[in-house]
Chain A
């Protein structure tokens, strides 16, 4: 059996091992690949820059901790940006585990900037009821949240939330949806199309959401970990995403190399089989 024949029938476990090596090496010895800012990431940055001081931005955590590596860096960088510019953040969640995960991030960043709970930020969490609940928020935010935040505090007693009557542009400057599936972006586009929508999605979702970008239903779209790295660069707070761009680049290169070699093996072996 020639080397190309062996290569074509390679055990996938060897590929897994190779991938592990390629991902770990740049973590130990960083290469320092450059990060290029895309217009869709720049759009989110520019929007935050243009916001009047004290604007209330709604965060929607529609992801589970599994995909946090792709989504959390943008959440952190964006919180840096918003708190630096003295804006206020209200966090809600369409996924129950997203609520738990994001509260850790929000509390950490708010403590770093000395922000006060209920005045500068609030976390209302997740409620059961899926689409029915979500549609209800369009008319009545506090009622839809059954009047309390994630820890049971009365929303009508907190200065930040008591006047937030509904999830509408009159009350929120915009919504940033951190999405890794459904429910998520589709619900905003379908049930609350008037809210300015900004999205950080896992990379695999980006091709699907491009159709909303073209029609201006999404104002900015950040793609996976690369989006996080770009926003970190823009804000000047280099974090996990920037550090992990090297392994990501190396992983992609490995896949491309495997594709090329696999095709060479395929062509060589096809010719051999045809000759026989």
Chain B
């Protein structure tokens, strides 16, 4: 197939892409990288790093699994978009590992419905490792990691059917969801499950807020993934992220003032640079 490639024009070199924001984006990336390295090094050396506030949804994770244990019902944890090349899937894996270990410790079934064939093996591995770490490898049931379909609504139909039949007492919807979010969460509500959602897609947040008991909003999905590890090196990356965020807020305020009070026809130096 490579022979069929038709090149539009001759090859061209350039240090940075000719589309806008490449230089500023590269600089932002380097700043974040250096900051992260600095904070991680500090954490590794044992120096104190800023504390991360408690997130209610994460605190409720143990409570939800405990409730399922008391009721003798399974825990359902899933992410719709769980392809291996997405950062929300990577965050989901952290939650999956944590939940699997807790479920193994409490002797509670964990059900995971998968929508991506490639992720299936990874999910199986993560859950199996959770059972191994809890010292109960024999309790792992491979039939509870279920590939439903890679098509959105076929997957949803499978999951809500499972919810109705097996009635998990806790439902954790973590990662990227689309139109299926409301169907899943409302079905969870109908069966009386305690529900925790973590979502970085602004489209579906309103649905989760309306239907779930706890919601981790936007970046809290990623922060939570570092937080539940309780490892200062991991939380160090969150500290670096917050430092950049504060700096960006500063830039926004300065940029707004410059734009508001600049002379007629003059350039806003910040706007010009960020478009560079």
Chain A residues close to B by CB (< 8 Å): 12, 64, 66-67, 97, 130-131, 138-143, 146-148, 155-156, 165-166, 180-182, 192-194, 202, 204-205, 207-208
Contacts and interface: CB of A to CB of B under 8 A. Distances in A.
A12 B190 contact: yes
A140 B8 contact: yes
A193 B153 contact: no
A142 B6 contact: yes
A182 B177 CA distance: 10
A72 to B, nearest CB: 16
A103 B4 CA distance: 24
A207 B203 CA distance: 8
B6 A182 contact: no
A177 B54 CA distance: 40
A181 B203 contact: yes
B202 interface: yes
B8 A193 contact: no
Interface in B204-261: 204
Nearest to A201: B203
A141 B203 CA distance: 30
Contact of B85 (A64, A67, A130, A141): A130
Interface string B189-204: 0100000000001111
A182 B7 contact: no
B272 interface: no
Contact of B6 (A67, A156, A181, A208): A156
A97 B151 contact: yes
A63 to B, nearest CB: 10
B7 A180 contact: no
Given A180-B178, A204-B179, A208-B202, 20 more contacts: A12-B190, A64-B151, A64-B153, A131-B85, A140-B5, A140-B7, A142-B8, A143-B5, A143-B8, A146-B1, A146-B4, A147-B1, A165-B9, A182-B81, A192-B19, A193-B19, A193-B21, A194-B19, A204-B203, A204-B204
A138 B18 CA distance: 11
B28 to A, nearest CB: 14
23 contacts: A12-B190, A64-B152, A66-B152, A97-B151, A138-B19, A139-B8, A140-B5, A140-B8, A141-B8, A143-B4, A143-B5, A143-B8, A146-B5, A147-B1, A147-B6, A156-B6, A181-B178, A181-B179, A182-B176, A193-B20, A204-B179, A207-B202, A208-B202
Contacts of B204: 204
Interface of B: 1, 4-9, 19-21, 81, 85, 151-153, 176, 178-179, 190, 201-204
B250 to A, nearest CB: 20
Given A204-B203, A205-B203, A165 B178 contact: no
B5 A147 contact: yes
* Residue of B1, B153, B179 with most partner-chain A CB within 10 A: B179
B120 to A, nearest CB: 18
Nearest to B3: A147
A65 to B, nearest CB: 9
Contacts of B21: 193
Contacts of B6: 140, 142-143, 147, 155-156
Contacts of A208: 202-203
Contact of A166 (B4, B8, B81, B85): B8
A147 B3 CA distance: 10
A204 B208 CA distance: 13
The 7 tightest CB contacts between A and B, nearest first, are: A165-B8, A147-B4, A143-B5, A181-B178, A142-B6, A208-B202, A166-B8
Contacts of A97: 151
A245 to B, nearest CB: 20
A67 B179 contact: yes
Contacts of B179: 66-67, 180-181, 202, 204
